Structure 1
Amino acid sequence: MKMIPSVLLIFFVLLLVSAGTWAAYTDVETSSGNTFTAGTLDLYMTDNGPIIDYEWTLTNMIPGMSKSGQLNLYNNGTVADHVEITFSTICRDPGADAGNNEESDTLAGANGMDSYLKVDSMSYSVYGSGNPGTLVDNGISSVSSITDSNGNGFIDLADLNGLTLDNLAPPRPNQQDPIDFNMKVTFDMSAPNDYQGDECILTMQFDLNQDPSQ
Structure 2
Amino acid sequence: MRHFTDRTDAGRRLAQRLQEHFAAQGETPADADLAAPDLVVLGLPRGGVPVAAEVARALHAPLDVLIVRKVGVPWHPELAMAAVGEEDAVVRNDSVIAASGVPRREREAAEQRERDEVARRASRFRGGRPPVSLAGRTALIIDDGIATGASMRAACAIARARHARRIVVAAPVAPADVIDVLRDEVDEVVCLHTPADFMAVGMHYLDFHQTSDGEVERLMP
TM range (shorter): under 0.3
Q: Greater helix share, 1 or 2?
A: 2
TM-score by length of 1: 0.24
Larger radius of gyration: 1
Q: Greater strand share, 1 or 2?
A: 1
TM-score by length of 2: 0.24
Q: Which has the higher contact order (CA 8 A, sep 6+)?
A: 1
